[in-house]
Every structure is written in C-alpha cells, then in structure tokens.
Amino acid sequence: MSDDTFRSVEIERTSMGNYVARNVRGGEMSMGAGEGASFTPVELLLAAIGGCTAIDVDHITSRRAEPTQFSVEVTGDKIRDEAGGNRMQNLRVEFTVTFPAGADGDRAREALPRSLQQSHERLCTVSRTVELGTPVSIVETAGPTGD
C-alpha cells in the first residue's frame, strides 16, 4: 500500500471506558462508553458518515455560492441481533442546505441533488465502506510486562 492511501489513528486509554483518539496531524478527540460529553464510537461512526458526505457536497456546491445554511443530521437505530450481533440499521443522512437568491445560488441549488448522489454512490469513502461491508481484522500485539 502506498503512503498516499494509508490512513491511521491511534487510540489511548485515559481511564476505564475513556479514550483519546489521535491522528498523525496532531488532532485529538475524546471518546468513551457513553458517560459524560465524550462521543461514543457509534456517534463517531455517524459523524464520519455525515462529515464525509458534507465535505463532498460542500466542495461541489460552494464553488457556485456560499451556503446561508448547511447542516447535516445522521440518525440510525442500534440493534442487538443474536444472528448478526450489535450493529446499526436504518442509517439516514439528512441535509438542510440553503443558498442565497440569485444566479449563483440557483446554480448551487441545481448542483445539490447531483452532489448528494455523487457522494453517496462514489465519493464518500466512509459510507461506501459501510455499504460495501469491508472486513475488519483484529490483531493482538503484546506490550511489555509489568514485572
């Protein structure tokens, strides 16, 4: 795999059920099991799906006009299925985007449906990965002993 395709984050435990995720650029985000204000891993998944599509749509439409409103709500149901284990279903990404009146705003409004479709069908790495069902491998690496 070449360097331009490789992606990674590091997750470090800060206390029981609390973690910090770090990217290679120095960004940090706290996450946890649902206690306090930290995001849960499922909430981060929803944010990743919505954020990925938002970036695609924003890049395409904002070339035509700056939006006056741009918000995304991502929802889904977490289920416990004996056959399939814990998982999310009924994922929904809802965009509320408005553009100013005028020719530029009209061009941006006209580009919006196609940009949503392009992101969903081709551009958004996160939702494409979820929909295609990419396997995840879990590997254990032993750390030094506390002796």
Backbone phi, psi, residue 97, to 5°: -135, 130
Give CA 22 to chain center in angstroms: 15
The per-residue pLDDT for range 70-80, each reduced to its tens digit, is 999 999 999 99
**What single string gives the DSSP state of each residue in 54-87?**
HHHHHHHHTTT---SEEEEEEEEEEEEETTTEEE
Over residues 10-62, the pLDDT tens digits come to 999 999 999 999 999 999 999 999 988 999 999 999 999 999 999 999 999 99
Half-sphere exposure of 59 (CA within 13 A, CB side): 9
Q: Count other Cβ atoms within 10 Å, centred on residue 20.
A: 15
Q: Is the entire prediction scored with pTM above 0.85? A: yes
Structure-block tokens of residue 77? 């149901």
The third-level CATH classification (topology) of the domain covering 40-132 is: GMP Synthetase; Chain A, domain 3 (3.30.300)
How is residue 123 written in tokens? Answer: 């551009």
Task: Give the integer Cα–Cα distance in Å for 54 and 95.
Answer: 8
Q: What is the mean pLDDT of residues 79-102?
A: 94
